[in-house]
Amino acid sequence: MNMLWGGTLQGEERSRVGAEFRHVIGELVELIGKPNVSDLFPALRWFDIQGIERQTKKIFTWLDRIFNSVIEQRMKMDEENQARTCKNKESSSKDFLQFLLELIKQGDAKTQITMTQLKALLMDTVVAGTDTTSTSIEWVMTEMMAHPEIMRKVQEELEEVVGMNKMVEESHLPKLHYLDAVVKETLRLHPPGPLLLPHSPSSTCTVGGYTVPKGAIVFFNAWAMHRAPEEWDDPLDFRPERFLIISHDLKKYDYKGNNFNYLPFGSGRRICAGVNLAERMLTYVLASFLHSFEWGLPEGTKLDLMEKYGFSLKKATPLVAIPTPRLLNLELYN
């Protein structure tokens, strides 16, 4: 919410809208991940047998009301701020919603967007950027708790780069090479979107001896590609070092989708638009978690690595972990 519309809402209203917003987005993400019989038999779509279309319309109505309320507040704030000097305007930080509203006001045919498109962009950012990121963080923490020796290596790197008397800052991230390898290895085994986004060829083509007709819906099984024994040594082993060995080969396996063996965020023009933000958020949050705390399981519990398919590849059982402060200066936690 901070990234989307910053301080547009304040106090109790911010808490109320935030709670409602999280609830609605949670329901939407769960709904998107449900198997839909109409995908297999399009003729059944009109009957809405599972009630998915009805539920979707209900959720979109909720979201539209929330967005309208926030947009109205932001436009009112912008009108009140017009009295400020240009210097103050330039020095103030802007949130995503403010930039989008400025595009609407500009009137430039090349960049102008409609209010409906603005709401769609807000929703895409939330749905694609929150659930997948939090799921990936959970998987990285799970894999490291399953491999404590790897967690210890990450913490040793953090001690060397950051120090035990400081908190992690964004400037530290480019130096955390081993943590970067851990994240990449986790996304290899547990890609946030296991089937990526559906594609459709504009003309009939042949791929690997198979004819793909024009207009067909095509999915890429990134989950299977990332575990293919023909492409990866010991593909089921969690081994971050595999990404350190090739790190000098012009970053052969980055997040840009240039190598079709590794596509956690897709590839080409339809690659995840937030890939750069997701990369930095993942690394920063994980670095902060691992540098600031030791992590353990509640007494009597076991770590579960089973997967549950949905819009994103979630854990079948949510991770429950207990943090213990590890920094020397306890005042850093205030």
**Which of 186, 166, 190, 167 lies closest to 178 in space, CA to CA?**
186
What residues have CB less than 8 Å from 280, skipping those under 6 apart?
170, 173
Name the CA dihedral angle for 261, 283, 10, 85, rounded to a multiple of 10 degrees: -90
Tokens standing for residue 259: 């190598």
| DSSP codes joined into one string, 307-324 | EE-SSS-EESS----EEE
Q: Is 272 annotated as a binding residue?
A: yes
Identify any residues that bridge with 296 across adjacent strands, giving them in sequence order.
322
Q: CB–CB of 259/252 below 8 Å? A: yes
Contact 154, 144 (CB under 8 A): yes
Pairing of strands 205-207, 210-212: antiparallel
Binding residues, by number, are 272
Binding residues for heme, by number, are 272
